[in-house]
Amino acid sequence: MDNYSEEIIDTENGIYPVEEVKDEYVDFESTDSPVSTAVTQEYGAEQIQVLEGLEAVRKRPGMYIGTTSSSGLHHLVYEIVDNAIDEALAGYCTRINLVIEPGNIISVTDNGRGIPIDIQEQVGLPALEVVFTVLHAGGKFGGGGYKVAGGLHGVGASVVNALSEWLEVFVHKNGKIYKMRFERGNVTEKMRIVGETDITGTHVRFKPDPVMFTDTTVYDYEVLHKRMREEAFLNAGLTISIEDTREESAGKSEKDRKDVLCYEGGIREYVKYLNKYKTPVHEDIIYMSGKKQNADCEIAFQYNDSYNETIVSFANNVHTPEGGMHVDGFKRALTGALNKYGKKINLLKGDEKVTGEDCREGITCVISVKLTDAQFEGQTKAKLGNIEIRPLVNSIVTEELEEYFDQNPAVGKAILEKALMANRAREAARKARESVRRKTGLESGQMPDKLQDCNERDASLCELYIVEGDSAAGSAIQGRDSRFQAILAMWGKMLNVEKARIDKVYNNEKLNPLIVAMGAGIGDEFNIEKLRYHKIIIMSDADVDGAHIRILLLTFFFRYMRPLIENGYVYSAVPPLYKITKGKTQRVAYSDAERDAISSQMRGDNENAKIDISRFKGLGEMDAHELWDTTMDPEKRSLRRITLEDAVAADEVFSLLMGEEVDPRREWIEENAIYVENLDV
């Protein structure tokens, strides 16, 4: 199996050079379908019909792949890989190789049975051609209903073909290599035999059409790598390799990157991976699976000592970020099983109970179900709607968990104790919230002393600057436009919210004024409608303390006010790095490149002009006027919006930077050396 990919790629590289290619049409004797002239004559008419189908894709690409931005570009790869994964699910494919080639050409090779090449009776065309030219044709072969994979839109190979400048496919099957080629969905080379082979499999190469993908045609290795890793976790034992052979500067950061992903433990290893920077509450990764009524279900979970709930769910290998019936079934069963076990071992007395939320504090869980006819619901099709899946998951988890706890009482007890702690903390938090409300007027509208508020009351026009340090806050207060800019001073080390429960957060002397000033509450009670400012701007120095405050604030927003980030309300101010002086002229620069450009501009023709370049050590060095001019004036400043592309990834970085484990934190900082450079100025 190991030399398999090399063989196909060799074929590509010219073992069968074009000159040597026999220009014959396919030898159909090896299939059951006789070729007749009638079929060949009908070919033209059929083809036109087929092409009309793909024109629709080029007219409205968004309808088929969501967007034609970077995300749509990457989606093309998923469509092709998903077809190969279907072949793996059917039990015929063990390896998939993905290569980003020079010119951002994508190559996907699998060692499955090869796409069927025989003539399709209904259309009189080779199945291979139909797969790439007829919309939604992908699932119609195979017949056994195994097709369960599929990207968000599940539209298949023909859409990728329609949106590619060119696409070529090689099928190794029946001892022969069959080739076809297309341009923008049109057949430019009919299927023909180009060589012989002793393996089976499918190799697709395509170049996304820059006419369709106007934003970018550059692939991001990390994006593809992440998705391939997910696919490898979800398909235990399947090997997926990903390789970047692009020339440098064509979108890759390292030379010749390659990762080979194979997880024999499947989703168990996924849970381990998600928990890698956390401290587990029990060693074992609890795993259960079951199959009932045409549906397969697999669940793996482990608790860690944090207070967060991470449930990552999939239906037919498609991520369901909003959960759905499979997740509901799991949650009910978990709560039920823990309450039952608590009674049994007498940790829960009388009518004492733990709630669902208590039971999920600190859980990291992966749920994967595979079913025929999955229904995806919700605006972004991010939720599994098949109602029959809920009782299915529920019964599997209920039965297996009871047995698991009986056999592993120490684990059962540890989890239950954690849920009980959560329960008590929730009660304490409720009390804290009430007392904070009374004491600090969370509801009375009374503003904290540390806030210099603005006059405007329309939140959509208001900005809150969170400023580090006394002197910077002083300058900001003097320099601001008080009509719409409010200043909140913040200093010293802040509470690490990763390690604190909600009651501590409400009572914290640093965070409390911030919560009150923002006016929207936190946690479950957070209400974005009540938010008093639609721009929350973190203004801190480009040094270690500044970075510390920034990360702590982001952690806090991430954990307790996530919609704030999701709505794009959080920014970081971009203060200048350099002051450049020549005589009476003074300018500032925000980057090294800008510094160099400005100084050479100031120098002009005079090589010896005396130019002084100094580095701003901190915001505090600027007077009120300078601060306004360079960093706060909406006409001139630039702001960096903080986005949350991927909550799970962010969660990881936050945990890593804030958690107790020192080694992974150091590794992360080393890997992100640019950041460190900024830290150490």
Nearer to ligand 0RA, 87 or 129 (CB): 87
User: Taking the complex as a whole, how short is the minimal distance between the CB of residue 142 and ligand 0RA, in angstroms?
Assistant: 4
Of 108-116, 261-269, 312-320, 610-618: span binding ligand 0RA (CB under 6 A) = 108-116
SS3 content of the chain, % helix, strand, coil (to 5): 45, 20, 35
Nearer to ligand 0RA, 158 or 386 (CB): 158
Q: Residues 53, 66, 142, 474: which binds ligand 0RA (CB under 6 A)?
A: 142
Of 21-29, 111-119, 385-393, 572-580: span binding ligand 0RA (CB under 6 A) = 111-119
468 binds ligand 0RA (CB under 6 A): no
Of 109-117, 324-332, 424-432, 438-446: span binding ligand 0RA (CB under 6 A) = 109-117
Nearer to ligand 0RA, 110 or 269 (CB): 110
Q: Which of 220, 20, 53, 17 is nearest to 125 (CA)?
A: 53
Local structure of 283: helix, strand or coil:
coil
Of 83-91, 351-359, 423-431, 523-531: span binding ligand 0RA (CB under 6 A) = 83-91
Of 37-45, 113-121, 416-424, 463-471: span binding ligand 0RA (CB under 6 A) = 113-121
DSSP codes joined into one string, 245-271: -PPTTSS-SSSS-EEEE--TTTHHHHH
Nearer to ligand 0RA, 120 or 368 (CB): 120
Q: Residues 46, 79, 110, 358: which binds ligand 0RA (CB under 6 A)?
A: 110
112 binds ligand 0RA (CB under 6 A): yes
User: Taking the complex as a whole, how short is the minimal distance between the CB of residue 80 and ligand 0RA, in angstroms?
Assistant: 7
Nearer to ligand 0RA, 9 or 500 (CB): 9
141 binds ligand 0RA (CB under 6 A): yes
User: Taking the complex as a whole, how short is the minimal distance between the CB of residue 6 and ligand 0RA, in angstroms?
Assistant: 19
Task: State the Cα–Cα distance between residues 608 and 212, nearest whole angstrom.
Answer: 51
Strands of 197-256, DSSP E? 201-208, 239-244
Give the pairing of strands 451-452 and 95-101.
unpaired
Per the residue annotation, which of 545, 594, 596, 623 is the catalytic one? 545
Task: State the Cα–Cα distance between residues 172 and 153, nearest whole angstrom.
Answer: 28
User: Two tokens at 464?
Assistant: 């809150």
139 binds ligand 0RA (CB under 6 A): no
User: Taking the complex as a whole, how short is the minimal distance between the CB of residue 317 and ligand 0RA, in angstroms?
Assistant: 15
Task: State the Cα–Cα distance between residues 195 and 177, nearest whole angstrom.
Answer: 5
79 binds ligand 0RA (CB under 6 A): no
Of 105-113, 355-363, 451-459, 543-551: span binding ligand 0RA (CB under 6 A) = 105-113
Residue 647-666 contact track with ligand 0RA, rule CB under 6 A, x = bound: --------------------
Per the residue annotation, which of 129, 244, 541, 651 is the catalytic one? 541
Give the pairing of strands 451-452 and 463-468.
unpaired
Nearer to ligand 0RA, 121 or 635 (CB): 121
158 binds ligand 0RA (CB under 6 A): no
Of 110-118, 224-232, 528-536, 626-634: span binding ligand 0RA (CB under 6 A) = 110-118
User: Two tokens at 612?
Assistant: 């002084």
113 binds ligand 0RA (CB under 6 A): yes
User: Taking the complex as a whole, how short is the minimal distance between the CB of residue 205 and ligand 0RA, in angstroms?
Assistant: 13
Task: State the Cα–Cα distance between residues 366 and 269, nearest whole angstrom.
Answer: 10
> H-type helices in 102-178, by residue range?
127-133, 157-162
Task: State the Cα–Cα distance between residues 389 and 293, nearest whole angstrom.
Answer: 9
Nearer to ligand 0RA, 114 or 479 (CB): 114
CA dihedral 409, 410, 413, 417 (to 10 degrees): -170
Of 114-122, 208-216, 264-272, 474-482: span binding ligand 0RA (CB under 6 A) = 114-122
Q: Is the dihedral of CA 55, 56, 59, 63 positive or negative?
A: negative
Task: State the Cα–Cα distance between residues 61 and 50, nearest whole angstrom.
Answer: 17
Q: Is 545 a catalytic residue?
A: yes
Q: Residues 11, 202, 304, 317: which binds ligand 0RA (CB under 6 A)?
A: 202
Task: State the Cα–Cα distance between residues 92 and 15, nearest whole angstrom.
Answer: 26
115 binds ligand 0RA (CB under 6 A): yes
User: Taking the complex as a whole, how short is the minimal distance between the CB of residue 99 and ligand 0RA, in angstroms?
Assistant: 16
Question: Hey, what amino acid is at 289?
Answer: S
User: Taking the complex as a whole, how short is the minimal distance between the CB of residue 88 and ligand 0RA, in angstroms?
Assistant: 9
Nearer to ligand 0RA, 228 or 334 (CB): 228
Nearer to ligand 0RA, 370 or 501 (CB): 370
Task: State the Cα–Cα distance between residues 555 and 546, nearest whole angstrom.
Answer: 14
Q: Is 543 a catalytic residue?
A: yes
Nearer to ligand 0RA, 115 or 490 (CB): 115
Q: Which residues contact 350 (CB under 8 A, 6 or more apart)?
A: none
Q: Which residues is 258 bridged to in the sheet? A: 243
Look-up of token digits 């059962």: 412
87 binds ligand 0RA (CB under 6 A): yes
Question: Hey, what amino acid is at 472?
Answer: A
83 binds ligand 0RA (CB under 6 A): yes
Task: State the Cα–Cα distance between residues 57 and 68, nearest whole angstrom.
Answer: 11
Q: Residues 54, 84, 167, 297: which binds ligand 0RA (CB under 6 A)?
A: 84
Give the pairing of strands 639-641 and 570-573.
antiparallel
Strands of 590-656, DSSP E? 612-615, 639-641
Of 82-90, 175-183, 217-225, 488-496: span binding ligand 0RA (CB under 6 A) = 82-90
Nearer to ligand 0RA, 83 or 630 (CB): 83
Q: Which residues is 615 bridged to in the sheet? A: 578
Task: State the Cα–Cα distance between residues 521 and 588, nearest whole angstrom.
Answer: 39
User: Two tokens at 420?
Assistant: 């009980």
User: Two tokens at 193?
Assistant: 């035999």
105 binds ligand 0RA (CB under 6 A): no
User: Taking the complex as a whole, how short is the minimal distance between the CB of residue 327 and ligand 0RA, in angstroms?
Assistant: 30
Q: What are phi and psi of 415, to 5 degrees?
A: -65, -45
Per the residue annotation, which of 243, 468, 626, 652 is the catalytic one? 468
Q: Which of 447, 441, 442 is nearest to 464 (CA)?
A: 447
For 59, other C-beta atoms within 10 Å of its C-beta total 9
Nearer to ligand 0RA, 114 or 618 (CB): 114
Task: State the Cα–Cα distance between residues 461 and 141, nearest whole angstrom.
Answer: 57
526 binds ligand 0RA (CB under 6 A): no
Render the burial of 389-406: b for 16+ CB within 10 Å, e for the rest.
Answer: bbbbbbebbbebbbebbe
Q: Residues 66, 116, 280, 336: which binds ligand 0RA (CB under 6 A)?
A: 116
* Active-site residue list: 468, 541, 543, 545
Chain residues in the site for ligand 0RA (CB under 6 A)? 83-84, 87, 110, 112-116, 141-142, 202
